[in-house]
């Protein structure tokens, strides 16, 4: 299997994704009468841009085996949203800053538990995730019991609501995404080396702590920006599903990032549209349903790694080798 062949396949996959997206938009307009007005275009663009951002950064999270940390980060954001609302009222900037601070505290707690006790990291993650999320739910319940009218919709942070996205939110996601992409281009070899072999990187004089912190900050930024759209529970899916799907099709990191971005844009855009036009379907679950279909198809059918491919190869191997040796006797 040559590298060239694999890369051509990836271009094919991206072309198929684009084709399905165009078909979806066409069919939804004619058959279901969906109007792609300004609001829906904003929502679709926001979902797709968020998908690009999480898709690209998710590759590093998956390869660094930090998927569960992503899950803890997003769950841990919820109490921060509640506290920020109580302090500053309903202002998206304040809510996201609150979310970021709560997540940061959560991760610090995980690190402190892992360092100072005999508990393993998965246990520490589970404890912090559950505690922070429970505190967040309790806080939101309290806020909803208060006679404050502006609290309506705060619970959308749990499952996400793309329909609430404004043009300014999309601009924010686009700007942050642009910064993240520039960083990845600038620090490409550093990010790659530190992800593959941090020990060797450190022995070569790379500032591993700084590079790791930069990468983690970008991942946290993507998670926090996505909270309003995908919600704290399923945000981790936006991070790891596109990267998991993309990994099946390629053995090159750069190609994986591009394909992951395409998968993220596809899932984010289509999921946001479906949830925006139908009532009472939260965005997070819709995006993750689409992303999970991509993951399932990739795991099943990707050449070289997919299980259908593996089954076929095993059968071919039996024909080729077993028949002449055993069957011939």
Query: Which residues of the chain form contacts with other proteins (CB under 8 A)?
Result: 2-3, 63, 65, 186-190, 192-193, 195-197, 199-206, 247, 250-253, 255-256
Shortest gap between Cβ of 52 and other proteins (angstroms)? 19
Please identify, using beta-carbon distances, which residue of 41 and 207 lies nearer to other proteins.
207
Please identify, using beta-carbon distances, which residue of 182 and 311 lies nearer to other proteins.
182
Please identify, using beta-carbon distances, which residue of 119 and 253 lies nearer to other proteins.
253
3-state secondary structure 240-304: HHHHHHHHCCCCCHHHHHHHHHHHHHHHHHHHHHHHHHCCCCCHHHHHHHHHHHHHHHHHHHCCC
Alpha-carbon gap, residue 59 to 56, rounded angstroms: 6
Shortest gap between Cβ of 131 and other proteins (angstroms)? 27
Local structure of residue 204 (DSSP, 8 states): T
Shortest gap between Cβ of 51 and other proteins (angstroms)? 20
Shortest gap between Cβ of 249 and other proteins (angstroms)? 10
Asked if residues 27 and 275 have their Cβ atoms less than 8 Å apart, the reply is no
Alpha-carbon gap, residue 55 to 245, rounded angstroms: 10
Please identify, using beta-carbon distances, which residue of 60 and 159 lies nearer to other proteins.
60
Shortest gap between Cβ of 64 and other proteins (angstroms)? 9
Shortest gap between Cβ of 75 and other proteins (angstroms)? 26
Please identify, using beta-carbon distances, which residue of 126 and 198 lies nearer to other proteins.
198
Please identify, using beta-carbon distances, which residue of 56 and 140 lies nearer to other proteins.
56
Local structure of residue 162 (DSSP, 8 states): G
Q: How many angstroms from the chain centroid is the CA of residue 66?
A: 12
User: How far from 222 is each of 141, 159, 178, CA to CA, in Å?
Assistant: 27, 16, 11
Shortest gap between Cβ of 289 and other proteins (angstroms)? 26
Helix (H) or strand (E) holding 54: helix 38-63
Shortest gap between Cβ of 175 and other proteins (angstroms)? 22
Asked if residues 169 and 227 have their Cβ atoms less than 8 Å apart, the reply is no
Q: Which long-range contacts (CB under 8 A, 24 or more apart) does 165-168 make?
A: 165/42, 165/43, 165/46, 165/47, 165/228, 165/229, 165/272, 166/42, 167/42
Q: What is the CA radius of gyration of the chain?
A: 22
Please identify, using beta-carbon distances, which residue of 186 and 322 lies nearer to other proteins.
186
Please identify, using beta-carbon distances, which residue of 209 and 319 lies nearer to other proteins.
209
């Amino acid at each position: 299997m040559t590298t060239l062949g694999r890369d051509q396949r990836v271009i094919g996959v991206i072309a198929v994704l684009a084709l399905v997206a165009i078909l979806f938009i066409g069919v939804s307009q004619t058959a279901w009468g969906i109007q792609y007005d300004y609001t829906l275009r904003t929502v679709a663009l926001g979902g797709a841009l968020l998908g690009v951002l999480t898709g690209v950064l998710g590759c590093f999270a998956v390869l660094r085996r930090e998927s569960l940390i992503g899950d803890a980060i997003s769950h841990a954001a919820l109490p921060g949203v509640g506290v920020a609302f109580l302090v500053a009222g309903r202002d998206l900037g304040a809510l996201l800053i609150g979310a970021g601070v709560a997540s940061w505290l959560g991760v610090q707690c995980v690190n402190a538990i892992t360092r100072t006790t005999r508990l393993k990291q998965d246990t520490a993650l589970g404890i912090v995730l559950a505690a922070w999320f429970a505190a967040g739910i309790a806080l939101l319940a309290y806020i909803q019991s208060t006679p404050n009218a502006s609290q309506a919709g705060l619970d959308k942070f749990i499952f996400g609501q793309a329909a609430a996205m404004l043009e300014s939110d999309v601009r924010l996601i686009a700007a942050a995404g642009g910064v993240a992409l520039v960083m990845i281009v600038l620090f490409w070899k550093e990010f790659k080396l530190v992800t593959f072999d941090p020990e060797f990187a450190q022995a070569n004089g790379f500032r591993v702590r700084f590079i790791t912190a930069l990468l983690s900050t970008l991942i946290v930024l993507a998670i926090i920006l996505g909270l309003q759209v995908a919600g704290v529970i399923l945000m981790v899916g936006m991070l790891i599903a596109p990267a998991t799907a993309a990994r099946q099709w390629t053995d090159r990191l750069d190609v994986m990032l591009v394909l992951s971005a395409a998968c993220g844009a596809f899932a984010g855009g289509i999921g946001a549209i479906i949830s925006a036009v139908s009532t009472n379907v939260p965005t997070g679950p819709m995006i993750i349903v689409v992303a999970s279909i991509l993951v399932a198809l990739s795991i099943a059918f990707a050449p070289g790694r997919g299980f259908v491919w593996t089954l076929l190869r095993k059968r071919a191997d039996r024909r080729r080798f077993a028949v002449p040796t055993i069957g011939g006797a």
